[in-house]
Amino acid sequence: MENKYNYFNNKPIPEIYGVNCFNDSVMKERLPKSIYKEIQNVKRGDLEMTHETAEVVANAMKDWAIERGATHFTHWFQPLTGLTAEKHDSFISPTDDGRVIMEFSGKELIKGEPDASSFPSGGIRATFEARGYTVWDVSSPAFLKEDKTGVTLYIPTAFISYTGEALDKKVPLLRSMEAINKQALRILKVMGRNSKRVTATVGPEQEYFLIDEEYFNKRPDLILSGRTLFGAMPPKGQEMEDHYFGTIKERVADFMRELNLELWKLGISAKTQHNEVAPNQFEIAPIFSMCSVATDTNQLVMETLRKIAGRHKLVCLLHEKPFAGVNGSGKHNNWSMSTDDGINLLEPGSNPQENASFLVFISAVIKAVDTYAGLLRMSAANAGNDHRLGANEAPPAIISIFLGDPLQEIFENISRGEKGGNKEGDFIKVGQTSLPKLPRDLTDRNRTSPFAFTGNKFEFRMVPSSDTISGPNVVLNTVVAEALCQFAEILEKSNNVIDSINKIVIDTYNTHKRIIFNGNNYSEEWVAEAAKRGLPNIKTTVDALQEMVKESAVELFAKHKILSKVELESRFHIYLEKYSKQINIEAGTMIEMANLLIFPAANRFARELADSVNSIKAAVKDADTSVQEGLIREILSNIKGLKTKSDELAAELKKAKSLEDIVQHAKAFREKVFVKMAELRVYGDILEKLVDKKAWPFPTYEELLFKL
């Protein structure tokens, strides 16, 4: 009898890994040596793709895909919706004799032309201007997706308008990677290193919830908005701390095994999986890869999570705060920089030259994060994250850096010219003295820090779980590129590079050390201290998005050719509108749930109680029904509150929708509609605790969080 849990079909994992990915090893096997070599040069940016090379690659890719059952191909891209998009074309080409042949040209590989009119553009183009182009991203491997109906070849692409503006998340990401490469190489060159390329690398950890499909389908709020708009906490939440890293339930383990199989077949190195803090919350983490590839694979991870969950009659929730009262979900963006000759530029190293390089690049990050804290906060902003950031479970809305005490002490000693080298009596001087050996884990992990150094990388912990990691990495790459650019301009003019590096490290630390905080970011004391230090505390998405169009941001992105002013302004409008639409959907759903589900259920239960009181009094003379009558009054009082707040919310919603100015429109949703939603929820959640469980119209938190 076939074992339904044997997803690997008794095959060794190395035979399964990457079978659906047109990766480097497949290209090496299927392409002529000269073509393979040319593709590698194109990937590195040393050559442009020729038509002849594209034809050879397209033919090899087609043959590989068809051998594995593919009938169609698609250019896969990431429009400004934050999701992915695809338009499928078949390989068939009719012949004169009424038959077909399977064809795929180099032109079809390199460029597609989907209708761009229905994607958000923020005013860059009129609706009737439909032409847009998808362009093959050579750096990210093509892959196959299998479903019940067949197999399709997916080609990762960038998406641009007819006039060349970026209409997606990929184009600015690739531009930002080129910017950090250019500026980092300038630094390495003056330090005597011969690296040819510097790549930003990322390892994104993905948090998510799983709930039973049956319960999901009975919750309009989860279906329409991705989060519970009503829901009282059950007697038990996460306070017993028994879920984190706990035993994985068999149903979830079964889901995870199939998930791993699908990801491994795509060449995605899913490495770690475990129970997270909240009930029914989990995490998956891959191994590091190049920033653009990591962005593509994270999108695939999210898509695959949802797909595999459905096969197990589960639903995967990626919303940042699907349940009030328990931890929400984020995405830890582990970021570093590596050279083509195998050096991690954020690795402390063991000799003076490596230490000098390490301290320069760490200093650049410190300078960048402090100078552009508002932009980093903006990059992690969406409607869902507003519920999570600062909610005593995730980093606050204040950006700070955790270095760990050993590394901070080294910076302090360098900045003051104090002792602290390898030998007693040595003074630390950058590039001349080896630093004290730094352990990979400098101290206990500071889970409260939004931007923590963890030995050889920085962990940006504010990134929202449902969103692409593209935006945060565009900002991170760009701001660090700018800091490196400023350092390079000093070093390239210097007669003594080591002395200049020493001065850069000291000046940067003394100027920007306000951003460094190794303590508890959740505490009220830190909020007050951060204010004294002058660190921005941007609490809402509406406020955060405005950082994008400040003059300093426009100048920064234009200088490094990442985004033009027009492209920035279009994104500003799109993201504000997206925020407003999300709150509009949530508010409308709340009103319907209050009026059409909670109100009738509570009213019926109150009537049943009243009927029982009358029956008791008729049956028992002088019966004491004060408890029942008190409960009826309490229910009726909260029904009244529910209806009053529902009407108030509807009125505020109508006002907000009438505003035409995009900023005022979004502010009204945040400052008026959002507030009324919270007020309405209070009455709904109280009624849940008063009404008979059997009479409650939708599944409760107890069912959603503890029954799996």
What is the rounded distance in angstroms from the CA atom of residue 170 to the CA atom of residue 136?
11
CB contact set of 595 (below 8 Å; sequence gap of 6+): 643, 646
Do 73 and 65 touch, CB atoms closer than 8 A?
A: yes
pLDDT tens per residue across span 75-129: 999 999 888 999 898 998 877 777 767 788 889 898 887 766 677 777 676 555 5
Ramachandran class of 529: left when φ > 0, alpha when ψ lies in -120 to 50, beta otherwise: alpha
Beta strand 401-402 with 451-453 is parallel
Q: Match 């200088």 to its residue by tokens.
A: 559
Tokens of 33: 């040596």
> What phi and psi, each to the nearest 5 degrees, are found at residue 444?
-55, 140
Write down the pLDDT at residue 523.
Answer: 87
Cβ(383)–Cβ(454) below 8 Å: no
Tokens of 558: 């234009």
* Residue for token pair 């460094």: 516
The pLDDT score that the predictor gives to residue 431 is 58
> Which tens digit of pLDDT belongs to each residue from 505-525?
999 999 999 999 999 998 889
694 Cβ neighbours under 8 A, 6+ residues apart: none
pLDDT of residue 351: 63
Q: What is the pLDDT of residues 89-101, one digit of tens each?
A: 899 887 777 776 7
The band of 240, judged by pLDDT with boundaries at 50, 70 and 90, is low
DSSP 566-578: HHHHHHHHHHHHH
Q: Where are the alpha helices (DSSP H) in 372-519?
A: 373-379, 405-416, 470-491, 497-512
Model confidence over 171-213: pLDDT tens digits?
999 999 999 999 999 999 999 999 999 999 999 999 999 999 9
> Which amino acid does the sequence have at 128?
F
In tens, the pLDDT along 371-430 reads 999 999 999 999 999 998 866 566 779 999 999 888 888 888 888 876 444 444 444 566
At a CB cut-off of 8 Å and minimum separation 6, what does 423 contact?
A: none
Extract the tokens encoding 299.
């999108």
Percent of the chain with pLDDT over 70: 91
Beta strand pairing status for 198-212 and 132-136? unpaired
Q: pLDDT tens digit string along 481-501?
A: 999 999 999 999 999 998 899
pLDDT of residue 22: 96
Instruction: Please determine, for residue 438, whether its predicted confidence score (pLDDT) is greater than 70.
Output: no
Q: Which pTM value belongs to this model? A: 0.92
Inform me whether the pLDDT recorded for 639 exceeds 50: yes
- Which amino acid appears at position 631 of this protein? L
CA distance 123 to 488: 37
Q: What is the C-alpha to C-alpha distance for residues 16 and 13, in angstroms, rounded to an integer?
A: 5
Give dist(CA 538, CA 374) in Å, integer.
8
Q: Are the beta carbons of 488 and 404 closer than 8 angstroms?
A: no
In angstroms, the CA 576 to CA 586 distance is 16
- What are the two backbone dihedrals, phi and then psi, of residue 76, each rounded to the nearest 5 degrees? -100, 120
At position 504, the amino acid (one-letter code) is I
pLDDT for 421 equals 43
Taken as a whole, the chain contains a residue count of 708
Q: Is the pLDDT of residue 303 over 50?
A: yes
359: enclosing H helix or E strand: helix 352-371
Nearest CA among 433, 398, 410 for reference residue 362: 410
Q: Collapsing DSSP states into helix, strand and coil, what is residue 272?
A: strand
Element (H, E) at 70: strand 70-76
Q: Is the pLDDT of residue 335 over 90?
A: yes
E strand or H helix at 42, and its extent? helix 33-44
Once rounded to an integer, what is the mean pLDDT over residues 227-255? 84
Measured distance CA(120)–CA(502) in Å, rounded: 48
Domains of the chain: 31-168 (3.10.20.70), 178-563 (3.30.590.10), 578-706 (1.20.120.1560)
Span 627-648, average pLDDT: 97
Q: Is the pLDDT reported for residue 1 higher than 50?
A: no
Query: Quick one: which of 50, 328, 112 has its CA closest to 209?
Result: 328
List all residues 6 or more positions away from 438 whose beta carbon is below 8 Å from its beta carbon. 348, 406, 407, 410, 455
Q: What average pLDDT does the chain have?
A: 90
- Do the Cβ atoms of 162 and 113 come closer than 8 Å? no
pLDDT for 504: 94
> Are the CB atoms for 85 and 137 separated by under 8 Å?
no
For residues 561 and 564, what is the distance between their CA atoms, to the nearest angstrom?
7
pLDDT in tens, 133-168: 889 999 999 999 998 889 999 999 999 887 888 889
